[in-house]
């Protein structure tokens, strides 16, 4: 098992967890979010292939109002 | 007369860019945006847990307005943060437009000119169309043009203050020196008269949020700004009189009754 954080909340996952499987397990709709891992942008096309490691900090952002 | 404003390769009828934040409800936001006549709306990206995604979101209301989206990098305090957030925005909104904010001071939310330049250069190299939120410093504006910005957005005054144009001289100087670039006053506008003044100076558009969102009647205030921006633009195109120190009668003095030459 590995331990990652998603929006600053800890989550324990299996070692083969990808961004796609993490998002699905957390209930995020992948067409309405954008992702960064360890403050680096991850393109949508990499969600399936990008595996996570222990200690990774995943940011999942959604559209909100802004000025 | 068709009088369009151009941002990079796109032209728009409205010179009013409106923010989507701070409204009491998404319904009030939508009504205000419609009343404003704006073609371009700003928005942002933030964390949100999936549990809070129930119901119709602000994002869905914004989508239904049919406006062109201008995502921002609000809250970023370094070039790296802003570049990452811009890339996330492009991935989600499928747009290479970005309102670039790199804040240098938390007290007055003053843009960091050095971080802004660094981020703008990197993003333009990566294909973004950058709308930099900057101060009214002419040299910073020139440097932003040098790295490839085709739109500049100097502040009128700090975000949310409603103080209007606190340095009209600097803003006018930017307009006079940088005649070909699209200039937008962004931030600090409190009253429709402030927006009108910006347009009278020859600015191409105005971007504001708080002055509408925190008005008592948001839709009416949005409409007031719409008219003020149009009035200021017309005045600029019409050409104002030159200010003079001494009075000059407007009624003819020739043939005046009861007047006898001494």
Tens digit of each residue's pLDDT (9 = 90 or more) over A31-58: 889 999 999 999 999 999 999 999 999 9
Q: Which residues of A touch B87 (CB under 8 A)?
A: 41
- The residue in chain B having the minimum alpha-carbon distance to the alpha carbon of residue A29 is B50
The reported pLDDT for the residue numbered B256 is 84
CA dihedral angle for residue B87, residue B90, residue B95, residue B101, rounded to 10 degrees: -50
Q: Which residues of B touch A41 (CB under 8 A)?
A: 84, 87-88, 91
Q: Which residues of B touch A44 (CB under 8 A)?
A: 91
Would you call B242 exposed, middle or buried from its count of C-beta atoms within 10 A (0-12, 13-18, 19+)? exposed
| Closest by Cβ to A62, choosing from B46, B51, B159 | B46
The reported pLDDT for the residue numbered B164 is 97
The reported pLDDT for the residue numbered B49 is 75
Mean pLDDT, 10 residues at a time, chain B of 262 residues? 94 98 96 98 89 73 95 96 97 96 95 98 98 98 98 97 97 97 97 98 98 98 98 97 92 82 62
Interatomic CA distance for residues B75 and B106, integer angstroms: 9
Query: What is the ipTM for the molecules in this complex?
Result: 0.94
- Choosing among B59, B91, B93, B160, which should be mutated to test the A contact, i.e. which has the most A CBs within 10 A? B91
Please name every residue paired with B151 in a beta bridge, in sequence order, or none if there are none: B182
Q: In this complex, is the C-beta atom of B65 within 8 Å of any C-beta atom belonging to chain A? A: no
| Closest by Cβ to A39, choosing from B23, B84, B92 | B84
Contacts of B19 (CB under 8 A, 6+ apart): A65, A66, A67, B41, B42, B207, B208, B209, B210, B212, B213
The pTM for the full model equals 0.93
At residue A29 the predicted structure's pLDDT band, cuts being 50, 70 and 90, is confident
| Gap from B84 CA to chain A (nearest CA, Å) | 6
Instruction: Tell if the CB–CB gap between B49 and A7 is shorter than 8 Å.
Output: yes
- B217-245 pLDDT tens trace: 999 999 999 999 999 999 999 999 999 99
Q: Which residues of B touch A28 (CB under 8 A)?
A: 50
Q: 3-class DSSP state for residue A10?
A: strand
């Amino acid at each position: 098992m590995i331990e990652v954080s998603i929006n600053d909340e800890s989550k324990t996952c299996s070692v083969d967890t990808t961004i796609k499987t993490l998002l699905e397990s957390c209930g995020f709709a992948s067409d309405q979010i954008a992702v960064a891992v360890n403050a680096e942008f991850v393109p949508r096309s990499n969600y399936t292939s990008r595996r996570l490691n222990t200690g990774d900090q995943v940011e999942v952002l959604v559209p909100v109002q802004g000025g | 007369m068709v009088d369009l404003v151009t941002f990079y390769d796109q032209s728009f009828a409205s010179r009013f860019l409106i923010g989507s934040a701070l409204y009491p409800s998404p319904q009030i936001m939508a009504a205000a945006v419609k009343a404003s006549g704006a073609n371009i709306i700003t928005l942002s990206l933030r964390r949100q847990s999936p549990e809070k995604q129930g119901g119709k979101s602000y994002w869905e209301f914004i989508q239904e307005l049919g406006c062109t989206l201008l995502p921002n990098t609000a809250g970023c305090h370094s070039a790296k943060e802003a570049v990452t957030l811009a890339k996330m925005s492009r991935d989600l909104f499928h747009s290479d437009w970005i309102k670039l904010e790199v804040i240098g001071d938390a007290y007055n939310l003053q843009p960091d000119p050095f971080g802004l330049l660094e981020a703008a250069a990197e993003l333009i190299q990566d294909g973004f169309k950058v709308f930099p939120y900057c101060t009214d410093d002419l040299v910073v504006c020139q440097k932003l043009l040098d790295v490839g910005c085709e739109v500049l957005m100097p502040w009128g005054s700090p975000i949310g203050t409603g103080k209007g144009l606190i340095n009209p001289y600097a803003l006018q100087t930017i307009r006079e020196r940088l005649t070909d670039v699209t200039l937008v006053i962004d931030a600090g506008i409190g009253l429709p008269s402030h927006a009108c003044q910006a347009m009278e100076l020859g600015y191409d558009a105005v971007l504001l949020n708080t002055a509408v969102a925190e008005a008592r009647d948001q839709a009416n205030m949005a409409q007031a700004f719409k008219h003020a921006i149009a009035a200021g633009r017309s005045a600029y195109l019409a050409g104002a009189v030159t200010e003079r120190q001494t009075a000059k009668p407007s009624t003819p003095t020739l043939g005046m009754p009861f007047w006898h030459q001494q």
